[in-house]
Amino acid sequence: MAVERTMPSQEGHDLIELVREIAAKEIAPRAAAEEAAGRFPREVFRTLGASGLLGLPYPEEYGGAAQAQEVYLQVVEELAAAWLAVGLGVSVHTLSCFPVAAYGDAEQRERLLPAMLGGDLLGAYCLSEPHSGSDAAALTTRAEPGEDGGFVLDGVKAWTTHGGVADFYTVMARTSDDGARGISCLHVPAETEGLSYGKPERKMGMRSSPTAQVRLDGVRLPADALVGARGEGFRIAMAALDGGRLGIAACAVGVAQAAYDAAVAYAGERRQFGSRIADFQGVGFMLADMATRIAAARALYLDAARLRDAGRPYGTRAAMAKLFATDMCMAVTTDAVQVFGGYGYVEDFPAERYMREAKVLQIVEGTNQIQRLVIARAVTREASA
């Protein structure tokens, strides 16, 4: 079902239509087979880059498209509806570019961003570690002083989307033992000596999107690899994750929309006891609840996007959007399997894949338990103010 959208501009509307066409013709038809085979669609990202879709929210002067977050996130939703590995991959790439775009100096932005935003390069974001997932401030990867003011990195990053296939890695590493204030952000090209990767994780879903450990063994970087000020990395990481959470919310709405569309089509065709199953109240009410939840989640992430576009604080609303949209996606995809009945449990139909993919969205970019903690802290601060 085509979703009616309110765009801030005609250009934004036209962009969404272009993405919907690309997704329907070039992305969605490949998704099931590529997921089953576990093949990473690197060429799809090159196509998106050539279409200007890998730098949408960033300035035109550096190769971006200067699109509003409201538009960018709806692009992510459309891509995720077609193939979550692609939609989430675009979100991760955008997240990986954020530190240089927002905190890099003029020389770094001019040197790095055109290739990062123009589609030639694909990024990965390295924050989590084997023993510091939700507690990001406890990371132990170290960046010790190197030659000429540079750095030597040692450590292991875990759960890295695009690990082993990315062209650059945005790495958070410890430059002092001063807790969260001892973390710095560094830009690491994939060809840097000392960088290696673990085997891709064997996952429940998202099998065509590689997730792997990134190992840093004596990785030597020049002084200009530091993004932002020394010790500013944790603040950069948290600011990046606020935007990343909106990307995951948009992905969740996309997957839920795809599952809902499949369920509606099936319920309109499948007949039992002489009637379409869509005409039975039990199924019809289920579809009604699915549609309502999707619309509510979309409205919530767009509300957060508009706050960000207006330059207003949006972190708490982003956490709400990520929490609500991903829990919604898990519920909607589970209901979609139920609508399909036995056919929902087999790989010949798409519902089971959507359900498997939905689960990871409740975990990435901060688990939903962490989102509740973020929201609770914000609302109790307001209550005590």
Q: Which residues are catalytic?
A: 365
Query: What is the distance between the alpha carbons of residues 295 and 298, in angstroms, rounded to a whole number?
Result: 5
Task: Find the helix or strand (DSSP H, E) in which 195 lies.
Answer: strand 195-197
What's the N-to-C CA distance of the chain in angstroms? 45
Strands 123-126 and 168-174, by their bridges, are: parallel
Contacts of 351 (CB under 8 A, 6+ apart): 259, 262, 263, 333, 336, 337, 339, 340, 343, 344
CA triple 53-50-93, angle to 5 deg: 45
What DSSP letter does each residue of 313-348 carry, written as one string?
A: --HHHHHHHHHHHHHHHHHHHHHHHHHHGGGGGSTT
Strands 211-221 and 123-126, by their bridges, are: unpaired
Q: Comparing C-alpha atoms, which of 172, 169, 175 is closest to residue 194?
A: 169
What DSSP letter does each residue of 60-95 carry, written as one string?
A: GGGT-----HHHHHHHHHHHHHH-HHHHHHHHHHHH
